[in-house]
Structure 1
Amino acid sequence: MIGPSSDATELIAHLETLRSEENIVGMARFGIATNRALGIPNPDVKAVARQAKKDHARARQLWRSDIREARLLALFTSEPKQLTADDARNWANDFNSWEIVDCAADLFVEARLDELVSEFAADEREFVRRAAFAMISGAAVHRKKEPDAAILAWMPLIEAHSGDPRNFVRKAVNWALRSIGKRNLACHAPALALARTLAESPDKTARWIGKDAGRELTGEKLLARLR
């Protein structure tokens, strides 16, 4: 029986009992790194996290296991108030999948490690750079009380990296731009303006980001919601 007193070794042993070879094959089709995966769906990992409760020291140990599900469990059971920028940097060094990146970005946003956004954006590693824009998107969506100016301050980063053609970066840059534009009317106008600028760019990737974001930001349902 697992619970709040379970250590990292016990939790990993429990995760091993949930292994699914069939799911591992399916995950690979979605671009998830499976060389150290057990094939456990995220809702099931979250169910384990609810039983295990939060424990930041244990989360660090789980992360070091290099097992996909143990690292997800680390992210789900870490304590945001105890997460340091150095913790986040160390974990980012191990990023090898968009899935892990996006879950980590949610945690980093909750921990308010905003100083890492520009740092990660400047990093040439594909998944670390993706983390920057996943964080921007997460902040735009989840920080309802954040001043819009703080969210809009990240727009130059979106423009600066709109030409990165790598799949997991360009999709995250696009995601960040769309999330800012969908936040409210005050953010919509500058986001749409940038989308239209990028849509006219001579750069193929920037054009794709601009056109794709522009389509969503001019959708009737979105405009009706924002008004």
Structure 2
Amino acid sequence: MRKLAKTIKKDHTLALELWDTGLHEARMLASMIDEPTMVTEKQIDNWTGDFTSWDLCDQVCGNLFDRTPFAISKAIEFSAHDNEFVKRAGFVLMAEYAVHNKNASNETFIALFPIMEREAWDNRNFVKKAVNWALRQIGKRNGILKLEAIQTAQNILKQNHKSAKWIAVNALTELAAK
């Protein structure tokens, strides 16, 4: 699919048409060919509302949404959503933004740690894994964020929730090893 996307190049109009087909693979391709500078907040909201699987959520967030100027504000907004895949999108955006945006400030990410603490109780598989992913990816950016991520994981570990303990132990295992 990525080979096909390279031959098509960036095409916002075609991306919107592909999304509207409702076909899973077409939507994946749409996220690969859409132009981040053309994406609106409304489009992000609409597409995120259509997520019905973790792979579509992750691909759209990592191929497209994290490259828009709305990535962090949408991550924060979505992190408190009731819908499992919308909420997952919030944390996937945090993780993908940490990987792809090399110039983002530490402060941008430090502001996200309390959100991870707040939502660590959510035991839905696709949410807890995304919270964990965001915590680990942000912690891997540099030494300052690693210390903040470890402290956040230690705070999460104190929560009386099975999912929080899993998130914290998994993150601490990875972050302490590096």
> Is TM (by shorter chain) over 0.5?
yes
Q: Which of 132, 135, 140 pairs up with 2:93? A: 135
For 1:156-199, what per-residue CA distance to the aligned partner results, in whole angstroms no more than 9, with x for missing partners?
11111101000000000000011111110010111001111222
Task: Tell me the amino acid that sits aligned with residue 153 of structure 1.
Answer: A
Q: Contact 1:198 / 1:211 at 8 angstroms: preserved in 2?
A: no
**Is residue 154 from structure 1 mapped to residue 109 from structure 2 by the alignment?**
no
Q: Which of 109, 112, 117 pairs up with 2:69? A: 112
Q: Which of 189, 194, 219 pairs up with 2:147? A: 189
Aligned residue number for residue 180 of structure 1: 138
In structure 2, runs of 5+ residues without a counterpart are none
Aligned residue number for residue 84 of structure 1: 40
Q: Contact 1:163 / 1:206 at 8 angstroms: preserved in 2?
A: yes
Task: Tell me the amino acid that sits aligned with residue 133 of structure 1.
Answer: F
Aligned residue number for residue 94 of structure 1: 50
Q: How far apart are 1:98 and its partner, in Å?
A: 0.7
In structure 1, runs of 5+ residues without a counterpart are 1-44, 223-227
Q: How far apart are 1:152 and its partner, in Å?
A: 1.2
Q: Contact 1:59 / 1:75 at 8 angstroms: preserved in 2?
A: yes
Whole-Å separation in 1 of the counterparts to 2:7 and 2:144: 41
For 1:83-115, what per-residue CA distance to the aligned partner results, in whole angstroms no more than 9, with x for missing partners?
011001010111011111111112111112122
**Is residue 69 from structure 1 mapped to residue 25 from structure 2 by the alignment?**
yes
Q: Give 1 or 2: higher helix fraction.
A: 2
Q: Contact 2:117 / 2:155 at 8 angstroms: preserved in 1?
A: no
Whole-Å separation in 1 of the counterparts to 2:26 and 2:162: 38
Q: How far apart are 1:119 and its partner, in Å?
A: 1.4
**Is residue 204 from structure 1 mapped to residue 162 from structure 2 by the alignment?**
yes
Identity %: 39
Task: Tell me the amino acid that sits aligned with residue 14 of structure 2.
Answer: R
- Of structures 1 and 2, the one with the larger relative CO (CA 8 A, separation 6+) is 2
Q: How far apart are 1:217 and its partner, in Å?
A: 0.6
Whole-Å separation in 2 of the counterparts to 1:105 and 1:93: 13
Whole-Å separation in 1 of the counterparts to 2:102 and 2:11: 27
Q: Which of 25, 48, 66 pairs up with 2:4? A: 48
Runs of 4+ with >6 A deviation: none
Larger radius of gyration: 1
